[in-house]
């Protein structure tokens, strides 16, 4: 539903926190009610690095709300697009038209997948996994750009989330197109033109040579991130492992977050520790064939924020 130029929404029994919301804006606004979806959880889940929670309502929303009203605001940049969102429980407002939301953002947020059923499929005897999912039931696996995820997760090697965000933003600001108020993710051509150490000044360290090499392989046609989507998980993973500087964890992250192979199960130090502590006999992949990567996100989030 596209909202009118002035929209008032009063609380109901099903939305106790949504006391009063008052918007004024010059752009179309899309209103959605979405279950099992939390921008706050996704923003700190380690799968995306250009989504952030805002301290106040962005300009697109002139909101008359009290600090304790339960409304959270977000800025999301994906490839060359930018979106502002407001969330209170299962109610969302997005500063875009309904047609734009349906054409791009609905798929980006993976809203057509029933994550509630995925959580219901968890073995009732697995207390750890049940608690992990209960900690972050609003996480969804975003459908992100393969090229952006390739470079982003090369950056993620031996890195932490705040620093990854800083590095990603740095290369976007220096080499991405200025879209007025934000920068798009840089194209392969911009990074391929650099010397192998050309990104070290931005704090990328040894990863600089891996990024430049990957960009050059894309520009030469040897690697086509968009074509990887057409491959099955095993084939895509095998191709990524051939890229200079990419190991198993990065390949699985690109498969999960860039190619939406939700069976991919990245194992970093956090997940390795979880598996050792709670699944010493091995994680029961056979029970969750085809979507273990979604459960990995619950485990990762729970380990960091639970």
Contact yes or no for 256/291 (Cβ under 8 A): no
pTM of the model: 0.90
In the structure, what pLDDT confidence band is assigned to residue 209 with cuts at 50, 70 and 90?
very high
What are 263-305's pLDDT values in tens digits?
999 999 999 999 999 999 999 999 999 999 999 999 999 999 9
Q: Would you kindly state where each structural domain of the chain is located, as residue ranges?
A: 6-112, 146-257
User: pLDDT at residue 52 above 60?
Assistant: yes
Tokens (6 digits) for 17:
């926190």
What is the overall mean pLDDT for the chain? 90
Measured CA to CA, the distance from residue 28 to residue 278 in angstroms comes to 48
Annotated active-site residue 130? The verdict is no
SS (H, E, C) 59-98: CCCCCCCCCCCCCEEEEEEECCEEEEEEEECCEEEECCCH
Closest residue by Cα to residue 267 from 279, 235, 211:
279
Neighbours of 299 (CB within 10 A): 25
What are 153-207's pLDDT values in tens digits?
999 999 999 999 999 999 999 999 999 999 999 999 999 999 999 999 999 999 9
Measured CA to CA, the distance from residue 128 to residue 131 in angstroms comes to 5
> Which residues on adjacent β-strands are paired with residue 183?
178
Q: What is the CATH number of domain 6-112?
A: 3.30.310
- φ, ψ of residue 286 to 5 degrees: the values are -65, -25
Q: Which fold has domain 146-257?
A: Endonuclease III; domain 1 (1.10.340)
Closest residue by Cα to residue 172 from 164, 160, 184:
184
> Which residues on adjacent β-strands are paired with residue 33?
91
User: pLDDT at residue 20 above 50?
Assistant: no
Of these residues, 19, 40, 52, 249, which one is catalytic? Answer: 249
Measured CA to CA, the distance from residue 161 to residue 177 in angstroms comes to 24
Measured CA to CA, the distance from residue 215 to residue 147 in angstroms comes to 9
Contact yes or no for 106/112 (Cβ under 8 A): yes
Measured CA to CA, the distance from residue 301 to residue 44 in angstroms comes to 8
Task: Note the maximum CA span of the chain.
Answer: 60
């Amino acid at each position: 539903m596209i909202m009118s130029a002035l929209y008032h929404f009063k609380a109901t029994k099903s939305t106790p926190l949504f006391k009063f919301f008052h918007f004024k804006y010059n752009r179309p606004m899309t209103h959605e009610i979405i279950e099992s979806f939390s921008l706050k959880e996704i923003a700190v889940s380690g799968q995306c690095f250009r989504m952030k929670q805002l301290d106040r309502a962005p300009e697109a929303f002139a909101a008359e709300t009290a600090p304790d009203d339960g409304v959270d605001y977000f800025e999301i940049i994906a490839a060359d697009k930018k979106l502002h969102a407001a969330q209170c429980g299962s109610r969302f407002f997005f500063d875009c038209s309904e047609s734009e939301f349906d054409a791009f953002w609905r798929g980006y947020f993976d809203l057509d997948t029933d994550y509630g059923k995925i959580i219901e499929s968890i073995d009732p005897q697995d207390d750890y996994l049940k608690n992990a999912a209960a900690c972050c039931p609003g996480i969804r696996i975003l459908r992100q750009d393969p090229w952006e995820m390739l470079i982003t997760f090369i950056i993620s090697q031996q890195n932490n989330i705040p620093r990854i965000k800083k590095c990603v933003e740095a290369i976007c600001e220096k080499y991405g197109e200025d879209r007025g108020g934000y920068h798009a993710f840089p194209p392969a051509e911009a990074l391929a033109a650099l010397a192998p150490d050309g990104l070290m000044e931005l704090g990328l360290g040894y990863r600089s040579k891996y990024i430049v090499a990957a960009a050059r392989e894309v520009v030469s046609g040897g690697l086509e991130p968009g074509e990887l989507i057409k491959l099955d998980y095993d084939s895509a993973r095998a191709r990524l492992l051939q890229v200079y500087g990419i190991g198993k964890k990065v390949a699985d992250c690109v498969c999960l977050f860039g190619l939406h192979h939700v069976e991919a199960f990245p194992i970093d130090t956090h997940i390795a520790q979880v598996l050792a502590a709670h699944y010493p006999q091995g994680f029961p992949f056979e029970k969750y064939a085809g979507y273990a990567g979604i459960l990995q996100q619950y485990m990762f989030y729970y380990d960091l924020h639970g």
